[in-house]
Amino acid sequence: MAQEFPFETLREAPLIVDAVYKGGRNNNMSDEVLSKLLPRTENSGGFRKTKVRGSSDRLAYITIYTTMSEPEWPDYFDVETGLFRYYGDNRMPGHELHDTRKKGNAMLRDLFAWLNDPESRHLIPPILVFKREVGRDVRFLGLAVPGGRNLGANEELVSFWRTMGSERFQNYEAYFTILDTGDEEISKEWLVSRVEGDADCDDRAPKVWRRFISRGRDGIEPLMSPRIIECPSKRDQLPQDPEGDAMVDAIRRRYRDFPQEFEPCAVRIVQMMDGNFQRFDVTRPWRDGGRDAVGWYTIGTERGSISIECSLEAKLYDADNGVGVREMSRLISRIRYRQFGIFVTTSYIGSQAYLEVKEDGHPIVLVTAREIVDILRSKQVDSTNIESWLDGISNETLIDVH
């Protein structure tokens, strides 16, 4: 459970990564959180600038507030890498890219210009990122800086065109990194000192912030949070409704007497999953009744594309017969350098086999019965027409059988 701070305590509440700060319950602007939590912060807007007292342009710090729920402007935070994507504030036709009411896009332009100029990098203010939770509640995502360790100058701030009605307009897509402040406090006293224009206040800043100001991109230390590997249950990997069960049962019945013939069906499912799988060669049966299939995944434009080789293993299993380590090891042993694997089953992946793939980092795509149903449904195949779909699977152009 995240630590929570009641609305009445916001002025004294510390800034803690992932803590939730509760809004008021008066159903008006007096419930707003950030203007109470942070010194001299505005009470509205996604991009809020707090200036040094008495200055018209010097910034003490910036607050970014995002809902991450606007489908046209999908802000996104990758908790594993610390990278945060944020869209600018020119979201309606009628204005030039930087001519917005709160000048958020002009600020984005300046931030990334300062990032790319060592003489101006000291002008970059601290950036505090908050995400809306329920009602007026907000979650603190952390202290951010513009750019990313592995992003170039032409990738971290990109302008693009959108159309609304018949009018075109530009906006920004910007990338920030949440810093790993560790057990250091992001001190409100530091922020207050910046507001007051204290020239020596950054001595109280977190070390990662000072390192960034000194070294730029090379000094960025992201807050990376690798996910704990959780093995999905048998139930999670099987269809969730009777119609889904009927679809997978139809596949099992079709190939029950000749399970090796399930391979072309599995290939077709994989190609429906991703159209970049261009061609598969299905080879001779092995002693365990299965076939190898070798395919090619094509990436790039027509004249500049590359094809990556992959190996496919397909198992026609009943719902109570999960894929074990032996079957998975066979596919792992076939994957050569610069290849990847695909395992397709009408059942589920046993926990030991699943963990072996994930913990050892084997490049294998796992497609279980539940994914099969989802893929078929995305292509308008359901229990009413799956038999005719299966009738149409044969030695098609993209599948060569040897």
Q: Which of 205, 183, 184, 185 is nearest to 194 (CA)?
A: 205
Q: Which residues pair with 245 in a beta bridge?
A: none
Residues 141 and 263 in one domain: no
DSSP secondary structure letters along 49-96: EEEPTT-SS-EEEEEEEE-S--TTS--EEETTTTEEEEE-S--SSSS-
| CATH code for position 378 | 3.40.1350.10
**Beta carbons within 10 angstroms of residue 255's beta carbon:** 19
Q: What percentage of the chain has pLDDT greater than the value 70?
A: 95
The confidence score (pLDDT) of residue 152 equals: 84
User: Per the structure block, which two tokens stand in for 125?
Assistant: 């203010």
**Beta carbons within 10 angstroms of residue 272's beta carbon:** 16
- For the entire predicted model, the pTM comes to 0.64
The confidence score (pLDDT) of residue 395 equals: 43
Cα(367)–Cα(276) distance, rounded to whole angstroms?
16
Radius of gyration for the alpha carbons in the chain, expressed in angstroms and rounded: 27
Cα(38)–Cα(186) distance, rounded to whole angstroms?
12
Task: Tell me whether residue 46 is in a domain.
Answer: yes
Q: Cβ(60)–Cβ(127) under 8 Å?
A: no
Task: Tell me whether residue 348 is in a domain.
Answer: yes
Q: Which of 359, 126, 334, 370 is nearest to 243 (CA)?
A: 370
The confidence score (pLDDT) of residue 246 equals: 95
Cα(324)–Cα(348) distance, rounded to whole angstroms?
9
Cα(315)–Cα(269) distance, rounded to whole angstroms?
13
| CATH code for position 82 | 2.30.280.20
Task: Tell me whether residue 229 is in a domain.
Answer: no
Q: Which residue shows structure tokens 């009470």?
A: 43
Residues 56 and 192 in one domain: yes
Cα(372)–Cα(379) distance, rounded to whole angstroms?
11
For all residues of the chain together, what is the average pLDDT? 91
Residues 181 and 291 in one domain: no
The confidence score (pLDDT) of residue 394 equals: 60
In the structure, what pLDDT confidence band is assigned to residue 147 with cuts at 50, 70 and 90? very high
- Residue 397 reports pLDDT greater than 50: no
Q: Which residues pair with 144 in a beta bridge?
A: 127, 178
Q: What is the pLDDT of residues 191-206, one digit of tens each?
A: 999 999 998 888 899 9
The confidence score (pLDDT) of residue 288 equals: 45
Q: Which of 304, 251, 245, 308 is nearest to 276 (CA)?
A: 308
Residues 187 and 254 in one domain: no
**Beta carbons within 10 angstroms of residue 119's beta carbon:** 7
The confidence score (pLDDT) of residue 285 equals: 53
Residues 205 and 126 in one domain: yes
Residues 209 and 249 in one domain: no
Residues 57 and 197 in one domain: yes
Q: Give 360's contacts (C-beta < 8 A, 6+ positions apart).
A: none
The confidence score (pLDDT) of residue 396 equals: 52
Task: Tell me whether residue 254 is in a domain.
Answer: yes
326: phi then psi, degrees, rounded to nearest 5: -60, -50
Task: Tell me whether residue 397 is in a domain.
Answer: yes
Q: What is the pLDDT of residues 264-296, one digit of tens each?
A: 999 999 999 999 998 888 765 544 444 468 999
The confidence score (pLDDT) of residue 24 equals: 93
In the structure, what pLDDT confidence band is assigned to residue 251 with cuts at 50, 70 and 90? very high
Q: Chain centroid to CA 374: how far?
A: 20
In the structure, what pLDDT confidence band is assigned to residue 5 with cuts at 50, 70 and 90? very high
Cα(28)–Cα(263) distance, rounded to whole angstroms?
61
Task: Tell me whether residue 227 is in a domain.
Answer: no
For the chain, counts of helices (H) and of strands (E)? 11, 16
Its domain, for residue 60, covers: 4-219
Domain boundary among 219, 251, 272: 219
Counting the structural domains of the chain, the total is: 2
Residues 174 and 314 in one domain: no
Task: Tell me whether residue 224 is in a domain.
Answer: no
Bigger pLDDT: 97 vs 400: 97
Task: Tell me whether residue 289 is in a domain.
Answer: yes
Q: Cβ(351)–Cβ(328) under 8 Å?
A: no
